[in-house]
Structure 1
């Protein structure tokens, strides 16, 4: 952290002696507050700061946030200096209270002193994770930095504050309970401070805003405050996604995770979360119909690679919608020069995943897209013939068709047999298979009939 020097008072009266120069200067707010704090007269220091704040607010035409924050053209230089002095005093009060584990008071003073939230967050290593770079610096008043607690974390502050109890401070039941209560109070203070900071968001404080949003979201997730968590991630935020992801997964806050992925354009990760919710590997009742959400996103994005990858996976969950997705998004524009390598690879993958879906996809390529690849026509001819032979293996179907052939032979109709068969045979899967096969074999000249 880098130190920020406070302003010195100015004097208009100088007294010259034979061997010295004397200056008559007013006792500054900082000098008075430091004297009180050095004598541990905290309440008097708080009263001094509050009186000075009210006095300063009464002399300016802007609100307290402007007094504590960015310069305003109506605030004179002197008043800006006094505002800086107030920030110094409140920050010193905050760290004094923090060292004494008076966390609620510390949080209020930190906010009044406009403390950079990163200074406070650094004391919670389990919450800040890798948010900060090793060489990242934060401006702090030099006088404040000198009085900051030497401990590296809130836990160390609490541990050092714990009174000695038999048999020892580490294991005495009363000491253990006290540390737990203080740790909870410390987290409550941080949550309240971050909420206030977020409500009075500062412009030009991108790094601070990232830290505030990420840590506050982590606190909400770990404490089960789902409504607050969703409100944070749903609105404008500066959450560092990589830092928050593990916490959301660990706490099964998948609705919040999905919203963040959607906001950050992480479509692949979003689909992966939804797929785990579909299979039951993960569960979150707040995520409604993840399967339909997958289809909707893939149709909206029209990303061929994503559609092909997830369309194959979706075949076993909703074949009709998956086939529609593969045919509309998974395929590119129709080629007039035969099959493409991409189409061939996709067909093979679909056939391996689901033979029935593979046949449907092959039919679309040959019949609807009118692809002239001889291999595909040959494949489809073999599929249709195999289906027709399977129908003939049924005795009732075979008997019916023989009767139809005999009736046609004895009739005097001029219609071709296929038309007669289609008009007089009751509708069934077998009838449709025979008609489809005959129409294809008559209409296509690209398959190899000798095989």
Structure 2
């Protein structure tokens, strides 16, 4: 401390060797004398008188701080904590000095050997006890021993007094630290803010704790975090961490709340908090979404999958590896969620990967067979199959071949969709059908054997026909559709498209637009290679016709011949017709076939005549060019020359070079030479 200004003296006493001045005692000396005599109240009054004078200079301010600190430690040593608090504040004591007497505050805050500055003379007034508990115990021994049996430390009354004094000490330190808040250097502010947070947490004052943490950014997180977790103030800790921008640690703490490692009644729904935080990070922090997406999906499948599947990103190789990693983790933790995520990868993300396709098909088949384990579902689907086939059979029997052809009924798929009640099992079957049709890369033979082994191959007739088609057994597939299932619509669709049982229009009618997008994708997995060839338009139609004829279905045969006449040749069809069938069953087909043949012939003749006319026009326009170049064009003489041989003349001989030279000199002409030789196929109708 710098030396204070001494008061001036008007009385000097001169000695032989000394000079004495008669002055009034300083305030510091008077206060110290009063404190030595334990007159603390008189010292406090003297301090008030000194402070109430005129404006103080810097020396007087320091003098006042010294006096307050002296009084504060005098009261503190006597465990008069509440009375000491205002003097500590007025004395501007370094908060680290006071915090050092509270082990629960000093251990996480103050390093061993850490020093703080105090005024000269203050250290002798500081208690020699290491902490406030020892100070209280020493005062109890000094004031009550030996009056509290069996001992001052063990007597119930002494313990109660110790508890009361300890609470007063906590009140004192809180009030002092709140007064020091925002003052001093950074280290002092850190100690003040951290100690206050610890005190509020240990006392359970959540409101004050949150208010304090929201208004400060100096608290030591490493010191506060374990205390807050121990005290159950998890919500306040999360608020502090979010204010510091440490959202990763916030997620870890919320995870601990969900798993039961932490508890805090103020945090009512930590799982929803985690979802909300991650949703705010979409498009900004993919690493956090990737880290927590699977864990959240296991806890809440619906919201977790929405979070994983709503992440928009370009299709790159590293993204593909990330998707596969997420799928693998989900398959280990939550197979149902993994199945939905796999469906999203293939259908929405369009992952054209044979392995993913095979996994999705297998998942759909497993789900389908699981649904059939339910007896009510199995009975319902058997009834649908029997009802559809019986209606079709009755229609075929009651309609004679000679009557007017009736429009075929709807396909089995349309019938099933429109009549079966909406349920998870219904959607499972539709998804299995769509996956079997649209996807590639799976083992159709293995899937078929799995269905047969389960004993549901008769109920799943449409699926079996589709698998037979995938395996190249088209006749078996057509027989299953046309004769077993009695579904002429699907059979003709299969024959017309080259092996497709479920067309894209049927998918859209089922109300599953996401699958329809996969079917409609150009070049996507739903486009069969067979559809790109002519096999589906000719061979399969004729194969279906043979199936109908073998079964003796004149009405379906007649209707097929009528609708597919353009894809069938009468020469190939007539030998297949049974001799006992009436001619009327083929009249429509033959009429269309003959008309088409005659039309092709007339079209060829017309094209040939047009080409001849164009050639004549070109020849006439070229004649003038040849003549200008000096060409002599003569008609060949039918009479023999003198040698007895016919006169030979090549009008093109020598003209090629002249014509080339002429065309180089002339501007581009509109005259063009066309040599069109149309090829007309004549059909021999026997």
TM above 0.5, yes or no, is: yes
2:380 is the counterpart of 1:396: yes
Structure 1 match to 2:526: none
Structure 2 match to 1:35: 33
Gaps of 5+ in 2: 397-405, 447-686
2:158 is the counterpart of 1:175: yes
2:356 is the counterpart of 1:360: no
Deviations 1:55-85 (A, max 9, x none): 14xx3xxxxxxxxxxxxxxxxxx71110000
Shift of 1:11: 7.5
Aligned match for 1:320, one of 288, 302, 313: 302
2:374 is the counterpart of 1:374: no
Query: Partners in 2 of 1:236 and 1:434 — Cα distance?
Result: 60
Deviations 1:255-285 (A, max 9, x none): 2222222222332332233334345554433
Shift of 1:50: 0.7
Q: Is the 8 A contact 2:301 2:337 kept in 1?
A: yes
Structure 2 match to 1:387: 367
Structure 1 match to 2:438: 443
- Quick one: structure 1 residues 32 and 430, their matched pair in 2 at CA, closer, same or farther if it must change by over 3 Å? closer
- SS of 1:136's equivalent in the other structure is coil
How do 1:206-355 and structure 2 match up within 5 A? 206-279=186-259, 282-302=262-282, 303-329=285-311, 333-337=313-317, 340-355=320-335
How do 1:198-209 and structure 2 match up within 5 A? 198=181, 201-202=182-183, 204-209=184-189
Q: Which moved more, 1:83-92 or 1:253-262?
A: 253-262
Deviations 1:284-332 (A, max 9, x none): 3322322211100111234434334433333343211111112234xx7
- SS of 2:118's equivalent in the other structure is strand
How do 1:409-448 and structure 2 match up within 5 A? 413=407, 417=411, 420-421=414-415, 424-428=418-422, 429-448=424-443
Higher relative contact order (CA 8 A, sep 6+): 1
- Quick one: structure 1 residues 11 and 420, their matched pair in 2 at CA, closer, same or farther if it must change by over 3 Å? closer
Structure 1 match to 2:622: none
- SS of 1:115's equivalent in the other structure is coil
Structure 2 match to 1:73: none
- Quick one: structure 1 residues 406 and 7, their matched pair in 2 at CA, closer, same or farther if it must change by over 3 Å? farther
Structure 2 match to 1:196: 179
- Quick one: structure 1 residues 48 and 406, their matched pair in 2 at CA, closer, same or farther if it must change by over 3 Å? same
Gaps of 5+ in 1: 60-77
Deviations 1:120-176 (A, max 9, x none): 110001222220122432110011123211111111211111131243322233333
2:5 is the counterpart of 1:9: yes
Structure 1 match to 2:663: none
Question: If the length of structure 2 is used for normalisation, what is the TM-score?
Answer: 0.56
Query: Partners in 2 of 1:160 and 1:194 — Cα distance?
Result: 25
Shift of 1:87: 0.1
Structure 2 match to 1:151: 129
Structure 1 match to 2:635: none
Query: Partners in 2 of 1:194 and 1:435 — Cα distance?
Result: 70
- SS of 1:140's equivalent in the other structure is coil
Aligned match for 2:51, one of 50, 53, 60: 53
Deviations 1:391-422 (A, max 9, x none): 56624313423543565686865799476446
- Count of equivalent residues: 422
Question: If the length of structure 1 is used for normalisation, what is the TM-score?
Answer: 0.83
Q: Is the 8 A contact 1:11 1:23 kept in 2?
A: no
Q: Which moved more, 1:259-268 or 1:134-143?
A: 259-268
- Quick one: structure 1 residues 431 and 154, their matched pair in 2 at CA, closer, same or farther if it must change by over 3 Å? closer
Q: Which moved more, 1:82-91 or 1:167-176?
A: 167-176
Shift of 1:209: 1.7
Query: Partners in 1 of 2:370 and 2:354 — Cα distance?
Result: 24
- SS of 1:129's equivalent in the other structure is helix
Deviations 1:72-131 (A, max 9, x none): xxxxxx711100000000001111111111112211111111111111110001222220
**The structure with more radius of gyration:** 2
- SS of 1:340's equivalent in the other structure is helix
Q: Which moved more, 1:112-121 or 1:241-250?
A: 241-250
Q: Is the 8 A contact 2:384 2:416 kept in 1?
A: no
Aligned match for 1:80, one of 48, 58, 61: 58
Q: Which moved more, 1:133-142 or 1:394-403?
A: 394-403
